[in-house]
């Protein structure tokens, strides 16, 4: 079969018919070409398999689960089958922009201490229109705040295959499996996020992150508790650490951040700056909620 590819692009897909063709073609259209495209069909009942098999690109390797196993088990199966030095994640409803793999591969090759490299992303709607931006932590903040869900945008990551094969996703985590893995990897390797928008993340009604939001947070709290020490911070305190939750009282949030920081060694100067930024966001959110409430109040 010749030499192994440099990168394995790993996609697990279940009933991905609506957006799968766009996702597959975005990978096949990469500037970087030294990859295999490993697709795990998780017992789809729609035209997923037919769509994948319509491509004759030899880099595509399609495997079928006889029954639906879920994302975590399917990804672990893909990790076992992967032949690349690096494993790049990809979701079946998203789009990788043409330079994604080349940028990540070049960075990983020149930074051997980095085990996981993600990118920033733009959000798109079902029709493919850009609706927003998703930036992830970078630099010292990424390492120090790896415990804040989540240090990476999961489908954007490229990971050294030896790490993935040694550690893999925890099969006990059907949701938040990526967050749990990053917490386990954080003590043994460096992290990095490229400050480039190299991925398009599609928001639609069936996103796992939306459909199973409560379950994801609950499972993520389990991983967080194990990482910082059980019962150090309760569930409400954990929710206060999540960047998107701007309804949490700033003083209460600062207290929980201090508790987490004391455990993880996050610098107090950075902690103060972060909470000042949060205070500004919270005041803005509070004023908007007040204004909205008044507008809804009958005259």
What's the whole-number mean pLDDT along residues 222-234? 83
At 295, the pLDDT band (50, 70, 90 cuts) reads low
| Closest among 7, 64, 19, 52 to 206, alpha carbons compared | 19
Asked if 128 and 97 touch (Cβ cutoff 8 Å), the reply is: no
At 149, the pLDDT band (50, 70, 90 cuts) reads confident
Q: pLDDT value at position 162?
A: 98
Q: pLDDT value at position 297?
A: 62
pLDDT by residue (tens digit) across 122-140?
A: 999 999 999 999 999 898 7
What's the whole-number mean pLDDT along residues 156-181? 96
What's the whole-number mean pLDDT along residues 115-120? 98
Which residues are registered as beta bridge partners of 123? 132, 201
* C-alpha–C-alpha distance, residues 174 and 111, integer Å: 31
Asked if 27 and 91 touch (Cβ cutoff 8 Å), the reply is: no
At 142, the pLDDT band (50, 70, 90 cuts) reads confident
* C-alpha–C-alpha distance, residues 231 and 56, integer Å: 53
Give the dihedral sign, CA 22/61/32/90. Answer: positive
Encode burial over 26-62: b for 16+ CB neighbours within 10 A, e otherwise.
Answer: bbbebebebbbbbbbbbebeebbbebbeebeeebbee
pLDDT at 1 over 60: no
> For the chain, what is the radius of gyration of the CA atoms?
20
For the chain, how far is it from start to end, CA to CA, in angstroms?
75
Cβ atoms within 10 Å of 236's Cβ, excluding its own: 10
pLDDT by residue (tens digit) across 22-73?
A: 999 999 999 999 999 999 999 999 999 999 999 999 999 999 999 999 999 9
pLDDT by residue (tens digit) across 70-99?
A: 999 999 999 999 999 999 999 999 999 999
* C-alpha–C-alpha distance, residues 91 and 96, integer Å: 9
pTM comes to 0.88
Residue intervals in the chain for CATH 3.90.550.10? 7-211
CATH topology of domain 7-211: Spore Coat Polysaccharide Biosynthesis Protein SpsA; Chain A (3.90.550)
3-state secondary structure at position 99: coil
* C-alpha–C-alpha distance, residues 71 and 14, integer Å: 9
């Amino acid at each position: 079969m010749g030499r192994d590819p440099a990168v394995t692009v790993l996609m697990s897909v279940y009933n991905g018919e609506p957006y799968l063709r766009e996702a597959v073609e975005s990978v096949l259209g990469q500037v970087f070409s030294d990859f295999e495209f490993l697709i795990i069909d998780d017992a789809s009942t729609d035209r997923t398999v037919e769509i994948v098999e319509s491509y004759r690109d030899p880099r595509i390797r399609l495997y079928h689960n006889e029954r639906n196993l879920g994302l975590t088990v399917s990804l672990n199966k893909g990790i076992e089958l992967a032949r690349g030095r690096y494993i790049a994640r990809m979701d079946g409803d998203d789009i990788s922009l043409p330079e994604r793999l080349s940028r990540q591969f070049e960075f990983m090759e020149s930074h051997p201490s980095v085990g996981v490299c993600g990118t920033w992303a733009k959000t798109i709607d079902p029709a493919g229109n850009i609706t927003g931006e998703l930036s992830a932590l970078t630099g010292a903040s990424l390492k120090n705040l790896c415990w804040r869900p989540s240090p990476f945008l999961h489908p954007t990551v490229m990971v050294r295959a030896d790490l993935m094969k040694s550690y893999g996703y925890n099969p006990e985590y059907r949701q938040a499996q990526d967050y749990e893995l990053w917490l386990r990897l954080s003590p043994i390797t460096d992290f990095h996020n490229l400050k480039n928008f190299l991925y398009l993340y599609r928001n639609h009604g069936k996103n796992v992150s939306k459909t199973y939001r409560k379950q994801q947070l609950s499972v993520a709290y389990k991983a967080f508790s194990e990482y910082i020490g059980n019962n150090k911070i309760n569930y409400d305190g954990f929710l206060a650490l999540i960047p998107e939750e701007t309804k949490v009282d700033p003083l209460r949030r600062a207290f929980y951040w201090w508790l987490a920081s004391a455990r993880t060694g996050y610098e107090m100067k950075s902690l103060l700056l972060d909470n000042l930024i949060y205070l500004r966001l919270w005041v803005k959110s509070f004023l908007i909620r007040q204004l909205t409430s008044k507008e809804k109040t009958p005259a």
